[in-house]
Amino acid sequence: MARPRKSQLTREALIELGMELIAVHGYHGTGLKMILDAAKVPKGSFYNYFSSKEVFVAEIINHYSLHVGERFDAYLEVAEGDPVTILKEGFALVIRELEGSGMKGCLIGNLAAEIGTLSPSCQAAMKAGAQVFCSRVEALMEDAQKMKLLRDDISAAECASLVWSVWEGGLLKAKIDGDTRTLRQHIVIVMDTLLRP
């Protein structure tokens, strides 16, 4: 197996560092100098990999989304129970990780709140990232509907979109409140009340 080139390693290191710094400081609070100093990469080299900060952040979002999708798939491989139980336990697992991370929240949600539609390339990456989550939730909800565990008068895609909205809104509220109680309650309300047959 061929070893990755140094240039590829540097590019990946920049993305990883950028993801960590933006998760803490946000889009506007993370300057290129901060990233380059942390990575020990000269400014000129940065532009060999990315044409602008906007393109760089879009790549970070893509990387983050891929990571989230891989973790979701790894969880599904070992998860047990019916689709609703799997979803609820999956959310509980992420909430526990959120509590242990200092309430950083979701990178996509954080960036959406900060830059929204100001960057078309970042917006496109955020939409694709949301779809990574929603497509997996939608598949579980389709299975749950077939098993009569969830109402079927709303499409699985609409159910997944609702859960995504509740989740992202709940993450913002958790950051405001400094705890996850409301987030936990709202996920339970959606899964056990609003979407039950």
pLDDT in tens, 30-47: 998 898 888 888 888 888
Tell whether 84 and 128 lie within a shared domain: yes
Q: The CATH number of the domain where 23 resides is what? A: 1.10.10.60
2/98 same-domain check: no
* Stated pTM of the model: 0.86
Q: How many CA atoms lie within 13 A of 117 on its CB side?
A: 0
Owning domain of residue 58: 53-194
**Overall domain count for the chain:** 2
How far is 149 from 27, CA to CA, in rounded Å? 40
DSSP letter for each residue of 84-124: HHHHHHHHHHHHHHHHHTTS---HHHHHHHHHTTS-HHHHH
pLDDT digits (tens, 9 = 90+) for 150-163: 999 999 999 999 99
CATH number at residue 110: 1.10.357.10
Please state at what angle helix 120-146 crosses helix 156-177, rounded to 10 degrees.
Answer: 120
Q: Are residue 179 and residue 158 in the same domain, yes or no?
A: yes
Grade residue 3 by pLDDT with cuts at 50, 70 and 90.
very low
Q: How confident is the model at residue 7 (pLDDT cuts 50, 70, 90)?
A: low
- The predicted model gives 17-34 an average pLDDT of 92
